[in-house]
Amino acid sequence: MIIVRNCFVAKPGHASKLATQLKDAAATAKIPKYRVLTDLTGDFNRVILEYEAENVSEFEARMKQYMTDEAFREKMKGYTDLWITGSREILQVA
């Protein structure tokens, strides 16, 4: 199993809006076992969308699905205006 973390540093004043948008989009896309996290330490305004996948192949298949899912794309519209920088972590569960 792998854990995927999409990590964002939101623009000041936009972290809660970004967190809400990510929650709505994840629910619309039916992402299993997801959660949205906000950081209490470290970078200010950090928002993380974390979810599980069985392996990298499943992750890749989901990414392809999200690119063509119109409802998901609608929920994500404008999200790039809410953050300054972002990164993705893909972690193997030991």
For the stretch 4-59, pLDDT in tens is 999 999 999 999 999 999 999 999 999 989 999 998 888 899 999 999 999 999 99
* Residue 31: per-residue pLDDT: 92
What domains lie within the chain, and their CATH numbers?
2-92 (3.30.70.100)
pLDDT digits (tens, 9 = 90+) for 47-75: 999 999 999 999 999 999 988 999 999 99
Residues present in the chain in total: 94
Q: What is the DSSP string of the chain?
A: -EEEEEEEEEPTT-HHHHHHHHHHHHHHTT-TT-EEEE-SSSSTTEEEEEEEESSHHHHHHHHHHHHH-HHHHHHHTTGGGGEEEEEEEEEE--
Q: What is the pLDDT of residue 72?
A: 93
